[in-house]
Structure 1
Amino acid sequence: MSAQPHPLQRQRIATLQRYEILDTPREQDFDEIVELASKICETPISVINMIDEHRQWFKAEVGLGTRETPLPTSICSHVILESDYVEIPDTLQDPRTADNELCLAPEGGLRFYAGYLLKPKNGLPLGTLCVLDHKPRRLTEFQKEALGILARRVMRELDLKLALREHEILRNEMDHRVKNSLQTVASYVRVYTNQFKKGEMDAATVLNSVASKIEAVSALHGALHKSADGQVVPLDGYLEDLVEYLRDSLPERVSIELRTAKAEVKSEVAGAVGIIVSEFVANSVKHGFPGHREGHVTIEAQGSGDDLVIRCADNGIGENADQSSQKEVAGRKPRNTGLGTRIVESAASRIGATIVRSSSSEGYTLELAIPAHARTH
C-alpha cells in the first residue's frame, strides 16, 4: 500500500529543499558510504535516498542502477513516518509492503529491508540510509549499530554542505552590508562637510558626528558576527543594543521602535535574529521609504504559546501599494526576492524557525517564529 504523507509534509519538503541535494551528481563520499553499508550488512543493495513530494530520489546506491523510483513503490516513504530505525525481516509478511510490486517480483523481489532515518536538527526526516536483500533475513546487532553510525555520517556530510553554503551566503551578505555601511558613512561625511563649509558646524562637531556613525556601524557588525558558542544570552538586551546601533545609522527621516519582553536564547539564535532584523530594517529604508519618504519601523519580541515571535513591521510602501504611491513603486523589485531573502531564509533555517511575510498598502511585515526547543536547548 502507498504511504500517507508525513504529518508535517509541507515543512519536511521545505527542509529537504533547503539542503539543495536533489538531482545533484554522484559524489565519492556518499558512494563510499553505501558501498561500506552493503559490505557490512552483507546485502546486495544499499541506498541513500531522499523522499521528495512525488518521488524517491537516490543520492547514492549500489545494486539498483537507477537514480529515482515512483513514490508508491517506496518502502522508505513508510519508514519516514516511524521510528529512527525500521527493519522488515520479510516484506511479504508486512502490511506496509506485502502488495508492493517491487517486493512481489518473482525474481529479484525485495524481501528484506533495514534503514535509519536521515534527520536534521528540526527532526523532520529527509529520507534514509537503507540496505535491502532478495531474501528474508535479520541484521545482527553489530550490523544495526554500524548502519546507524553510517547514517549519522551521511547526515553530518549533508549538514556540512549546508553550513558551508550558508556561510558563503552570509559572508557575501556581510561584505555587502559593510560596503553599504561605508557608503552611508561617506554620505554623512559629505553632508557634514557641506554644513562645515556653510559655517553651520565647526570642525570638532563634524568629526565627532562622523566618528559616532563609524562607531555605530562597527558595533552593529560586531553584534551580527557573534559566534555560535552555545551560551544563553538575554535576547531583550541583545535587541536593545542592536536597535540602538541601527537607530544611529538610520537617516533622520526613518525612526525605529523596539518592544520586547524578557527572553533567553542561545547566542546562535540571537545572531540569526540580528541578521534578520538588520536585513528587514535595511530593506525598509531601501524599498519602503524611497527618496525622501519618512517612515517608522517597529521591532517586537513576544511569547506566543511555545514559540517566541519576532515581529518586524514598517509603514512604508507595501507590495500592494495604493494608486497614490504607484510612482514610488515603479521600477522597484519585490522585497521577497534576491540575496537578502536568501540570507533571511538561511538564518531562519539554521535555528529551525519559520517566517511569515505580509504586505499591503499600509506597509510590510515579517514574523519570525522560533520554537521553544531551538531557543535554549
Structure 2
Amino acid sequence: MRAPLHPRQSERLAHLRKLGILDTRTEQQFDEVVDLAARICEVPICLISLVDENRQWFKARVGLDVAQTDLDRSICSHVILQGDLVEISDTTQDLRTADNPLVTGADHIRFYAGVPLISDDGLPVGTLCVLDTRPRSLTELQRSTLRVLGAQLMRQFELRLALHQAEVLRGEIDHRVKNSLQTVLSVVRMYKSRVDNAVATEALAAVERRIDAVAMLHQELYQTSQSNRVALQPYLERVASLLEASAPSNVRLDITVCRAQILPSVAANIGMIISEFTANAIKHAFPDGRRGTVTVTVEQSDETAGLLVHCRDDGIGSANPAEESEVTRLGQRLMQAAAIQIGAEFSLMAQSDGYHLNMQVPLKDAPSAELAAE
C-alpha cells in the first residue's frame, strides 16, 4: 500500500529542497556510510533514500542498480511517518509492504529496516535503510548502529546547508562592502579634483590609497579559506600593481614578498606603509625624469618569527633636503602611525643613495608555521 502524506508534507518537501541534496553527484562520504551499514547489518542492500513529492531518490546505494523509484515502490515513505527506526522482519506479513512491487516482484525483498532522517525542526526528509531478500531480524547493536549513522547523516546534510547559507551571506556582504568602498572612493576623488592646496591634495591622495588597499584586503579575505588570516603575498602584489600603474615610465617598482598568513589588521598597516613610501618616492625621489627603482622586500625573520620589511628608492635622497616639505612629512607621519598600531620597530632615513625604510613586525599571535612557504 502507498503511504499517506506526512502531516507536514509541504514543510517537509520545502526543507528537502532547501538542503540541496536531491539529484547531486555521488560522494565518497555517503557511499562509505551505506557500505558500512550494509556490512554491519549483514545485508546485501543499503540506501540513503530521500523521499520527494512523487519519488524516492537514493543519494547513496549499495546492492541496488536503480537511482530512484516511484512512491508506489517506496517503503521509506512509510518510515518517515514514524519518529524512530522501523523494522519489518517479513515484508509479506506487513500490511504496509505486502503488496509492494519490491516485495511481490523480481526484487524479492523480504526484510526492511530504516531509520528516518529528521531535521532539527522535526521534518523527516528520508531514511537510511537496509534490505534483504530473506526474512530476518537485526541485533540490538545493528539497530543502534543505524540510529547513530542516520543521525550523523542528517547532521552532514544540515551542515552543508549552513555552509551554503553562510557563503551566500558572505557574498552579499562582499557586494555591499565593495559598493560602499566605491562610493567613498568616488567622493574622495571628487574632492581631490577640486582642492587647490598641496597638503590637502596629498592628504586626500593618501586616503584614496588607503581605501584602495582596504578594498584589496577585503577581496583577499573573501577569496581565502581562512577568514581570520590574509595571504600577504597576493595582497601586497595587488597593492603594488595599483602603485605601479600610477608611476611614470621612468620609475620601476620591484617587490618581493614571502608567503605568510597574517592578521588582516597587520596586513592592512604593512600595505599602507609600503603604499605611502612608494607613493612618496614616485612623487619626490626622481625629479626631472630621472630613472630609478623603488624596491620592496618582505621576508621572514628567523630570530623573531616576525616579518622584516625593507623599502628603498635609488633617488636623490638627502641630496635635496629642501624637498622635506609638509607634504613629505605628512606621508612620514602616516607611516609612523601605522607602524605604532602593529607594534613594529620603524626607521626611515634619507641617505645619499635614496630613502631607506626598515621595519620589524612582530607576529606574536601567529604560530611560526603560518609563515612557512605554502
- TM-score, length-normalised on structure 2? 0.50
Higher CA-based Rg? 2
- TM-score, length-normalised on structure 1? 0.50
